[in-house]
Structure 1
């Protein structure tokens, strides 16, 4: 009888260990919430680390006055400070212009990304939220 109890306890511990180890295999949860005060000609970037699995990234933004353009690039397509303002919009994986907006982008596995805010029409506060949908 003791052997059965010990066997059950051992099996329960093995199952719990496996569950804990496998539970962390998905992409890291992404939840970035930023607010910037920006002027015409300014640009800001949020860099996202590469994940081993593909991700669906959702970008939501609002501008207190006027409009802005928000773009998502592969990091290599918008490198450095100059990439924030000069990276061609045609290379963006997704973008939107407006006073408010929301869009999603599919990121391939092992891809660093850069979210760029630029092309403001007036000085304004820009709020941006970035999440990954799982």
Structure 2
């Protein structure tokens, strides 16, 4: 009976050690899927939390009418409602303009980011998906 108790204790310790060692091996899984009805002059943002390790973030979008610009900024470069409308595109880590698009951006460790949708040419439904590649 004592040997069985020691075996259970050893297995529990091994399990805890595995969780501690492998639990934080990569960035948290990111899978955001949004749909917005937007007009000319509108802007929307999706905030991404900082991760301890670098992330490769994939952004996919489609616009039902006209075009939009989708940009990824460091959060401090596009703060607040004014930031998502007025932050210079030159400060974006990556961006794309069109009726559909797909691009990837590398986020450094411990970097909060904002995915911004703006500069629509017509009122439209915008679908956006943001994922990270692991």
In the TM superposition, 1:1-134 aligns within 5 A as 5-25=4-24, 26-134=26-134
Give the TM-score normalised by structure 2: 0.92
Question: Which sections of structure 2, spanning at least 5 residues, go unmatched?
Answer: none
Measured in 1, the distance between the counterparts of 2:43 and 2:69 equals: 10
User: After the TM superposition, which segments of 4 or more aligned residues of structure 1 sit over 6 Å from their partners?
Assistant: none
Q: What is the root-mean-square deviation of aligned Cα atoms in Å?
A: 1.4
The alpha carbon displacement at 1:7 in A equals 4.2
Alignment length, in residue pairs? 133
SS in 2 for 1:42: coil
Higher mean Cα deviation, 24-33 or 72-81? 24-33
